[in-house]
Structure formats: structure tokens, C-alpha cells
């Protein structure tokens, strides 16, 4: 990364204003600009990435999270195409594939990065020069359009599963899925309220989810991570709704660590757990097929740059956990809701359509 540049963002003036994080990755003529989610909403700084290597580093360093890496990867591949444009077609293609592998490796649990890379590679034939750059830009545009369309569909299906006035518990930051769900709920003439866990150690729930919902004019309450079971036991919420970084074909939900505990508690107290994902991953038949990222344990010893534990202790940070299908009520996809033991129907539906 080559540094940070402040970029002013106007405060919303109405509940229907598009929230800030809906547009947090931007491609320019010479770089990718990524809104630094590690400091949002206290600071609105944009990290400038001038190469695909810098984009991959930004993803790994948590500058962006949730669906942000997908769009960062789309645009990072465009940077790679621009850098390789002067090479012969075969060498240019090899450079794009190298760039793609670098991006996919930056955070391996979520398969969004692989999808973004594939979207850009798809229209890039054995060409170079301006033709290669144009093809990569086309792939990135198409990839973004498909992602947004599928997120809207997913949000609409989710909204129909939430009763009017529902109080919803969520964990971590569901990004476009959450925004589109709120939009769809309102399109039905309903309103819901949210209870957000803070989501240690990066506080995505406190800083990203709660702030975005508040920007949208949604009634929002914040709780600490340890309060989720108590809220569920008290009957204070009607549904547990989270995104999923990946869902396996046998119904395991892989998401931000802490999801498993909430899902078990929701199951115990009769609260449905709805897991949102655009599609179950056919490349992951079982949970054993999903790599679980372990981040440096030092990250749990700090909060927003302030150390919260003494130097006498060490930290442990599995960034994701796996919820077995018996604790999942419904997996909500862009093709509708499915029981976790019936996800093969997602792909059968595609054939029938």
C-alpha cells in the first residue's frame, strides 16, 4: 500500500440514503481505493493500492472485510491486467493467473475471492494490450453486477422470512446481504429492528453493522459478544440472521467465529437461525473441504489499537467457526430458502430454470 488519503463522505440525511459502506471500494485510472474499515466510522480514510500485491495486502490486513474483498479482488485483477498489458498474450495470461492466486490466498475461507478472480479471467482470452485491459474491466463490471443482483434476490427471500416488526439478532457484518434485506423488508411495507453483537476483536458488529443500520434509520441495539445467549433465552429476538462466508453442500455454515455459539443457543431456545449465502459451494461437499483461517493471536490482545491484556498472556484467534446443519434452520440463497439438508436442490433449481 502506498499510503492513505482522506476522502470526505457526506452524512446521510434520510433513512433511505444509501449507507457509506455500500460503496467502499473504487477503481481509478491508476489505483484501487479501499475505505479503511478498521477505523470506520471514527475516520473516513481511503487506502490507495497501486498494484495487485497492495490490494492483496490490504485484504489480508483487514482494511476491508465481508463483501469488500470481492470488489477489491475484481479491481485488483484490473490493475494486474493493466500491468501485464505490454507482455505477449501467453505471458499476460500467466501474470493474471498469478495475480488471481495471490488474491485468493489473501483470505482463504471465503470463496468470494475465487469467484471474483474467475469473473475477471472469464472474458480474458489470449490477448494483450488495450484488448486485455478492456476484457478485464468488462469482467470486473459483470462480476459486480452479478454480485449486486444476487444480493438483492437473497435480501428479498430473507425479508419474506421475517415477520413484520421482527427483532433480529445478527453477528459480524453481513454487508450487501444486510443492506438488501433491510431494503426488501421496507419494500414489503414492514420494519424490523436489530440487535448486533460487537464482534471481537475487530468490532465489525459495533462499527460496521450497527453504524450502517443506524445510517439506514433502523432501530439498532448493540450488545457484547457474551450477551447473545441471554438475549435468546429471554425471548427478546425472533430470529438469528447472519451471513455465511461459505456453506458446504452438506449444510455446514462457515462464518465469523462466534456464530456457532449463537446458533447453538438459538437452537436451544427455539429461535430460527437463518444463514445467508448467495450459493452453497459445490467445491466444498463437507466442512473438511473448507480451510479455516487462523489469524495471529496478538490480534485478540488489542481493541482498536489499544492493548487489553498484559504481556504475560498469549492470544488464540481462529477467525471462523463451523456450525453443523442440525443448528441451522434455513440457508437463504439468491434462489430462495433451503433446509440445510436439501442444498442440492439449489443446483437442481438452476437446471430446471
Model confidence over 123-137: pLDDT tens digits?
A: 999 999 999 999 999
Taking 90 as the threshold, does the pLDDT of residue 8 lie above it?
no
- Position 353 scores a pLDDT of 58
- Residue 323 class from Cβ within 10 Å (0-12 exposed, 13-18 middle, 19+ buried)? buried
Is this structure's pTM higher than 0.95? no
Q: Do 274 and 330 contact (CB within 8 A), yes or no?
A: yes
222-273 residue pLDDT tens: 999 999 999 999 999 999 999 999 999 999 999 999 999 999 999 999 999 9
181-193 residue pLDDT tens: 999 999 999 999 9
- Position 17 scores a pLDDT of 72
In DSSP notation, 173-224 reads: --THHHHHHHHHHHHTT---EEEEE--TTTTHIIIIIHHHHHHTT--EEEE-
The set of cell numbers assigned to 302 is 488489542
d(CA 240, CA 262): 8
Q: Do 258 and 271 contact (CB within 8 A), yes or no?
A: no
Q: Which of 36, 175, 225, 245 is catalytic?
A: 245
Residue 236: C-alpha distances to residues 39, 217, 266 (Å): 31, 20, 11
d(CA 185, CA 198): 23
- Position 2 scores a pLDDT of 42
Q: Do 103 and 313 contact (CB within 8 A), yes or no?
A: no
118 counts as catalytic: no
40-91 residue pLDDT tens: 999 999 999 999 999 999 999 999 999 999 999 999 999 999 999 999 999 9
- Position 105 scores a pLDDT of 97
Taking 70 as the threshold, does the pLDDT of residue 1 lie above it?
no
Q: Do 239 and 168 contact (CB within 8 A), yes or no?
A: yes
The share of the chain scoring above pLDDT 90, in percent, equals: 92
298-340 residue pLDDT tens: 999 999 889 999 999 999 999 999 999 999 999 999 999 999 9
Q: Work out the widest C-alpha separation in the chain, in whole angstroms.
A: 65
Amino acid at each position: 500500500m502506498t499510503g492513505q488519503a482522506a476522502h470526505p463522505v457526506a452524512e446521510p440525511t434520510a433513512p433511505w440514503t444509501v449507507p457509506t459502506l455500500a460503496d467502499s471500494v473504487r477503481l481509478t485510472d491508476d489505483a484501487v481505493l479501499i475505505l479503511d474499515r478498521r477505523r470506520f466510522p471514527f475516520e473516513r480514510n481511503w487506502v490507495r493500492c497501486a498494484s495487485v500485491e497492495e490490494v492483496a495486502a490490504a485484504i489480508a490486513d483487514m482494511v476491508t472485510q465481508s463483501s469488500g474483498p470481492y470488489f477489491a479482488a475484481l479491481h485488483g485483477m484490473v490493475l494486474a491486467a493493466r500491468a501485464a498489458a505490454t507482455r505477449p498474450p501467453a505471458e499476460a495470461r500467466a501474470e493474471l493467473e498469478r495475480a488471481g492466486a495471490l488474491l485468493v490466498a489473501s483470505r482463504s475461507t471465503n470463496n468470494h475471492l475465487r469467484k471474483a478472480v474467475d469473473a475477471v479471467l472469464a472474458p480474458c482470452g489470449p490477448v494483450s494490450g488495450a484488448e486485455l485491459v478492456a476484457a478485464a474491466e468488462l469482467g470486473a463490471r459483470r462480476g459486480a453486477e452479478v454480485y449486486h443482483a444476487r444480493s438483492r434476490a437473497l435480501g428479498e427471500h430473507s425479508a419474506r422470512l421475517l415477520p413484520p416488526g421482527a427483532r433480529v439478532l445478527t453477528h459480524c457484518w453481513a454487508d450487501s446481504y444486510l443492506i438488501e434485506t433491510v431494503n426488501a423488508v421496507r419494500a414489503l411495507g414492514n420494519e424490523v429492528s436489530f440487535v448486533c453483537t460487537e464482534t471481537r476483536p475487530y468490532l465489525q458488529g459495533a462499527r460496521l453493522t450497527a453504524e450502517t443500520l443506524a445510517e439506514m434509520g433502523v432501530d439498532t441495539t448493540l450488545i457484547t459478544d457474551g450477551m447473545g445467549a441471554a438475549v435468546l433465552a429471554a425471548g427478546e429476538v425472533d430470529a438469528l440472521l447472519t451471513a455465511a462466508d461459505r456453506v458446504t453442500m452438506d449444510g455446514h455454515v462457515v462464518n465469523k467465529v462466534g456464530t456457532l455459539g449463537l446458533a447453538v443457543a438459538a437452537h436451544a431456545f427455539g429461535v430460527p437461525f437463518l444463514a445467508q449465502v448467495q450459493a452453497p459451494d459445490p467445491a466444498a461437499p463437507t466442512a473438511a473441504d473448507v480451510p479455516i483461517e487462523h489469524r495471529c493471536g496478538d490480534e485478540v490482545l488489542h481493541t482498536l489499537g489499544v492493548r487489553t491484556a498484559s504481556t504475560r498472556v498469549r492470544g488464540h484467534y481462529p477467525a471462523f467457526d463451523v456450525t453443523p446443519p442440525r443448528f441451522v434452520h434455513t440457508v437463504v440463497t439468491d434462489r430462495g430458502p433451503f433446509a440445510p439438508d436439501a442444498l442440492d436442490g439449489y443446483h437442481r433449481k438452476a437446471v430446471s430454470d
